[in-house]
Amino acid sequence: MFELSTSPQSIIGVLRNSFKLFKHTWLKLLPMAILVVGLTVILEMLLPKQVNVTSAYMHHISNRHLPIILGIETVIFWLFLVMFYRCYRIMIAADVGYNEAVKVALRKFLPCLVALFLYVIIVFLGTLCFLIPGIFLALLLMYSAMSILIDDQRIFASLKYSAKLVWGNWWRILAFFLIYFIAILIVMLVIIFGMDLFIVRLLHVKMLNAIVLMNILGFVMILFFWISWINIFICQYYDLKLRRQLKR
């Protein structure tokens, strides 16, 4: 069983807790993560591949595929809500299984979607005012939908709640995610170059078969990234909540 911290942790401590939580959640989150990656592949197939596309072509694409694209993106968002909620329940040693997680995600779907829409609009407007305000707002409001899903915050209250969690922890959050992404990048590069050396050079596998194997490896790495990201995000959110409680 995952041992939940009762006091705020250092950046390394939160990363360590995330890794421990990953060991308890990856197998349970794997089916939903596979669905997400599969839907993402379908989504990429529907989107135009041309760099320079005419307005007529884009209009043709939008008429044919826009409802399907929006539908797939909506399902992907809902699947992430399911995974985030179940990961959180596993972290607090109260796993509810997929049936309850699906019900909660359906009930919280619309408020979370509205919060995400507001988040995107606010960050976009901040980016238009120069890049720095956009980054500032992206960090400040990034936990709004999570607070609705986990802590039953209302839509506009969730924006304020997220800002209170982040305020005063800017550098900690930036350093935390920077270390995480650097670690993920190093792991992926080691795996890619290691597999390339092992498959192509040592085993002398035919190029076509090597490409297939590398595609499978890429699929597995994407699964690993999404599941680890969910664990990282949940543990960071929980740690920020503990820090806020100490300030009261």
pLDDT in tens, the chain (248 residues): 677 888 899 999 999 999 999 999 999 999 999 999 999 988 888 776 654 545 554 555 555 677 888 899 999 999 999 999 999 999 998 898 999 999 999 999 999 999 999 999 999 988 887 778 888 899 999 999 999 999 999 999 999 999 999 998 988 898 888 998 898 888 888 877 776 666 656 555 555 566 676 777 778 888 888 999 999 999 999 999 999 988 76
AA identity, residue 71: G
> 158 and 148 in contact (C-beta within 8 Å)?
yes
Token code pair at residue 34: 């596979």
Question: Residue 41: its pLDDT value, please?
Answer: 85
In this predicted structure, what is the pLDDT of residue 164? 94
Q: What is the pTM of this model?
A: 0.88
Q: What is the pLDDT of residue 246?
A: 84
For residue 141, the model assigns a pLDDT of: 94
- Which amino acid is present at 139? L
- Of 137, 148, 225, nearest to 187 by C-alpha is 225
The alpha helices in the chain, defined as continuous H runs, are 11-46, 55-91, 97-128, 131-140, 144-151, 155-166, 170-196, 207-247
* Two structure tokens written together for 232: 């990282």
